[in-house]
């Protein structure tokens, strides 16, 4: 029998959570968040926004100043870390370098005085989950960074936690390995139905790995939603800017049409009429053909960079700089200073409350 079927992923509920470290602004300021069993929720935001402090409060490594934390049916707000049935995977791996892989993974079970046969079986199973059985007897410092992070993951899973917490677990890996290990973490989390809270400042990683992304800013939740929602319908400049690439241009909205310089773009959104910030994702922009020229925005090419699958082209327009992606077959005439007309598709356009100051 697969012992991991005994995993009992739990809901997590944060209510009015506040953390103050001194007299200044709170590091975490009234965070309310409900995480469903089996869900992977990412806390995303710039350095200092309070995401790590929030994670550490869930772990029991930091004591909240106000508010409550519930895991499953239990309020755990001030419970010590070891009584919460939660495990954490750290950026630094936090492994014992002098011990082999098996001893590292089994350490928590040994401390909990589980019978030797059970420890062996559970460690074998956890190593199998992360594909590390062949390395069981190697010292951890003889493994690569990616393998060490897998050991850390096995060590977290072996405890059959109700919640797994990830604190920037990929930061020490190079870009290629980061993509690989994040796909592995996501696959395992979905296969086992783990409840997971994941902290990162990397928006691409957050979009790729999450069921739901919570964007934090200055200790507060700025917006939360599925990766697709946040990308398509950010509620503020901060989120639009932070997630994906966005051009945010000043425009006017009359309830049916966006006026963006000389371009008129039909658009329906629940938004007050008047000045707006127009978020234009790169995929919303195309080179206008002669039939749509009257609807377009005149532009000059500033630069063209070949990125492999697409070309990043930067245009100067009367309403600001527009950065976009253009396919290889459309890029040939685009040399610096070339005059073109830009057209806009509905997909990838979204209005924000007011132009950025």
What is the residue whose two structure tokens read 């059985």?
A: 133
Least separation, in Å, of the C-beta of 216 and ligand ATP? 7
CA distance 187 to 193: 10
Least separation, in Å, of the C-beta of 21 and ligand ATP? 3
Which residues in 72-109 belong to E strands, given as ranges? Answer: 74-75, 86-90
Binding site for ligand ATP (CB under 6 A): 21, 27, 45, 47-53, 201
CA distances from 75 to 14, 81, 84 (A): 10, 13, 10
50: which 2 tokens?
């309070």
CA distance 44 to 50: 9
12: Cβ contacts below 8 Å, ≥ 6 apart: 33, 34, 35, 58, 69, 70, 71, 163, 195, 197
CA distance 86 to 206: 21
Give 51 or 212: the residue with its C-beta nearer to ligand ATP: 51
Least separation, in Å, of the C-beta of 316 and ligand ATP? 34
Least separation, in Å, of the C-beta of 27 and ligand ATP? 3
Give 46 or 294: the residue with its C-beta nearer to ligand ATP: 46
Least separation, in Å, of the C-beta of 62 and ligand ATP? 8
Least separation, in Å, of the C-beta of 182 and ligand ATP? 17
Give 29 or 39: the residue with its C-beta nearer to ligand ATP: 29
Give 56 or 150: the residue with its C-beta nearer to ligand ATP: 56
Give 63 or 328: the residue with its C-beta nearer to ligand ATP: 63
Give 49 or 130: the residue with its C-beta nearer to ligand ATP: 49
CA 340 to centroid of chain Cα atoms: 36
CA distance 235 to 228: 13
């Amino acid at each position: 029998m697969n012992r991991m079927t005994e995993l009992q992923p739990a809901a997590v509920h944060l209510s009015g959570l506040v953390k103050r470290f001194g007299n200044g602004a709170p590091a975490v300021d009234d965070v309310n968040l409900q995480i469903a069993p089996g869900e992977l929720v990412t806390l995303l935001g710039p350095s200092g926004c309070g995401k790590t402090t929030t994670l550490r409060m869930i772990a029991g490594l930091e004591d909240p100043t106000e508010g409550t934390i519930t895991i499953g049916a239990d309020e755990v707000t001030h419970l010590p870390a070891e009584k919460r049935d939660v495990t954490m995977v750290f950026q630094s791996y936090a492994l014992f370098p002098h011990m082999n892989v098996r001893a590292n993974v089994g350490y928590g079970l040994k401390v909990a005085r589980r019978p030797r046969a059970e420890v062996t079986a559970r460690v074998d199973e956890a190593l199998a989950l992360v594909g590390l059985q062949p390395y069981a007897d190697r010292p951890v410092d003889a493994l690569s960074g990616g393998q060490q992070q897998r050991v850390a993951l096995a060590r977290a899973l072996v405890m059959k936690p109700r919640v797994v917490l990830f604190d920037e677990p990929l930061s020490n890996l190079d870009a290629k390995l980061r993509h690989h290990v994040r796909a592995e973490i996501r696959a395992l989390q979905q296969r086992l139905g783990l409840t997971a809270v994941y902290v990162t400042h990397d928006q691409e990683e957050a979009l790729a790995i999450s069921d739901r992304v919570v964007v934090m800013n200055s200790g507060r939740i700025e917006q939360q939603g599925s990766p697709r929602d946040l990308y398509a319908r950010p509620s503020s400049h901060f989120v639009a800017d932070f997630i994906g690439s966005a051009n945010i241009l000043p425009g006017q909205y009359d309830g049916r049409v966006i006026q963006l310089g000389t371009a008129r773009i039909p658009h329906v959104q629940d938004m007050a009429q008047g000045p707006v910030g127009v978020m234009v994702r790169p995929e919303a922009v195309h080179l206008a053909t002669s039939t749509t020229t009257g609807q377009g925005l005149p532009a000059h090419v500033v630069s063209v960079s070949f990125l492999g699958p697409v070309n990043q082209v930067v245009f100067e327009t009367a309403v600001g700089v527009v950065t976009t992606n253009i396919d290889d077959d459309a890029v040939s005439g685009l040399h610096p200073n070339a005059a073109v007309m830009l057209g806009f598709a509905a997909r990838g356009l979204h209005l924000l409350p007011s132009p950025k100051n």
